[in-house]
């Protein structure tokens, strides 16, 4: 039986009607937790340059990539099978390999970079893409605040973005897989951890979402590629802030027999920011579902479990 395809809402970031845009974002986050973002301002040249350099990195021999292995700093290379996003998976790990970058303006951030001898344009290209996506994320967060009936600068005022903690993760999914990997996923079922994720893909299919995470059997729907659009989804901490008004939706990447590249930009709150239910999202009949928690404490626990340390 074929997997149904999903028509996600299109949100135009260039619209001058911020109230109408915020209303559309609210509906998308309540109903899907996912939407497409168009007219975001990141041009094709920047995106294509990022993918070209990403491909060069993943084409390096494994021995070279392992010299940049992530470790517990969450910066650098992660080989296939290093992470299990669905802890109930019977496989030793997900099929994907990846590379973490960020935050790039923090001098103390333990970023790792390929040598200029092997990839001379790599760092400059990734920093450019990172900065442009960070700008889009900041603009979008102000609209999300409006969508929650808050001041547009609310998340900045409470310190969530002072400074922001944002991570760019380059991802490569294999084409051919071994017999022992049949049934495994490029990325197994999971929800993202932070505020929002901004994803760009190379157009190869594979992304699926499950809107009702507590429903069994689960219904998975394909997310079609929309040329030039970013795919945006809500993360766990935003779901906690909104008392589940906005949904942090389960998603996964299935193996489709073809190589797939993507880049996920995770915008997360400053680690000291306390995430607690927003007043606009609770009432006497809908009390807070989650206790307050520091962003950093929540994120580190999720990373610890998925990487098994």
Does any domain span residue 3?
Answer: no
Query: Coil, strand, or helix at residue 72?
Result: helix
Q: Is residue 176 part of a domain?
A: yes
Burial 82-121 (b: 16+ CB within 10 A, else e): bbbbbeeeeeebbbbbbbbbbbbeeeeeebbebeeeebee
pLDDT at residue number 107: 79
Taking each helix axis as running N to C, give the angle between helix 122-147 and helix 44-58, from 0 to 180 degrees, rounded to the nearest 10. 120
Residue 275 located in a structural domain: yes
Distance CA 221, CA 5 (A): 5
Task: Work out how many domains the chain is built from and give that number.
Answer: 1
H helix runs in 148-260, sequence order? 154-157, 236-241
For residue 2, tell me if it sits in a domain: no
User: CA 206, CA 224: separation in Å to the nearest integer?
Assistant: 9
Contact 89, 181 (CB under 8 A): no
Q: What is the CATH number of the domain that holds 232?
A: 2.60.120.330
* pLDDT under 50: residue ranges of the chain: 1
Alpha helices (H) in 98-231, listed in sequence order: 122-147, 154-157
pLDDT value of residue 163: 84
Q: Are the C-beta atoms of 46 and 134 separated by less than 8 Å?
A: no
| Digit-coded pLDDT (tens) for 216-250 | 788 999 999 999 999 999 999 999 999 999 999 99
- Expressed as residue numbers, the domain containing 127 is 10-307
Backbone angles phi, psi at 80, to 5 degrees: -55, 145
- Is residue 113 included in any domain, yes or no? yes
Predicted local confidence at residue 49, as pLDDT: 98
What is the pTM assigned to this prediction? 0.95
φ and ψ at residue 157, rounded to 5 degrees: -65, -30
Q: Residue 187 domain-assigned?
A: yes
Q: Is residue 5 included in any domain, yes or no?
A: no
- Which two three-digit tokens encode residue 7? 């028509």
Q: Are 157 and 151 in contact (CB under 8 A)?
A: yes
- Give the model's pLDDT for residue 1: 47
């Amino acid at each position: 039986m074929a997997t149904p395809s999903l028509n996600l809402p299109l949100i135009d970031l260039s619209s001058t009607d911020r109230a109408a845009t915020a209303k559309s974002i609210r509906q998308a986050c309540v109903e899907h937790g996912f939407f497409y973002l168009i007219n975001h301002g990141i041009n094709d040249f920047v995106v294509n340059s990022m993918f070209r350099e990403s491909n060069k990195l993943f084409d390096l021999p494994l021995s070279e990539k392992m010299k940049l292995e992530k470790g517990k700093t969450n910066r650098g290379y992660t080989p296939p099978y290093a992470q299990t996003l669905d802890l109930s998976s019977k496989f030793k790990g997900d099929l994907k390999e990846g590379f973490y970058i960020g935050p790039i303006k923090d001098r103390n951030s333990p970023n790792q970079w390929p040598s200029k001898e092997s990839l001379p344009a790599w760092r400059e290209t990734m920093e450019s893409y990172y900065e442009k996506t960070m700008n889009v994320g900041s603009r979008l967060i102000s609209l999300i605040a409006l969508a929650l009936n808050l001041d547009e600068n609310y998340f900045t005022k409470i310190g969530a973005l002072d400074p922001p903690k944002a991570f760019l993760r380059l991802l490569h999914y294999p084409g051919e897989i071994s017999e022992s990997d049949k049934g495994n996923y490029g990325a197994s079922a999971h929800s993202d951890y932070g505020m929002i994720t901004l994803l760009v893909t190379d157009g190869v299919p594979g992304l699926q979402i499950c809107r009702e995470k507590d429903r069994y059997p689960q219904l998975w729907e394909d997310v079609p590629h929309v040329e030039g659009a970013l795919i945006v989804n809500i993360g766990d901490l935003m779901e906690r802030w909104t008392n589940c008004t906005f949904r942090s939706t389960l998603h996964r990447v299935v193996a489709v027999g073809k190589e797939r590249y993507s880049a996920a930009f995770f915008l997360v709150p400053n680690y000291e920011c306390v995430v607690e239910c927003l007043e606009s999202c609770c009432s006497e009949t809908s009390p807070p579902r989650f206790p307050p928690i520091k962003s950093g404490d929540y994120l580190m626990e999720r990373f610890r479990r998925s990487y098994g340390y």
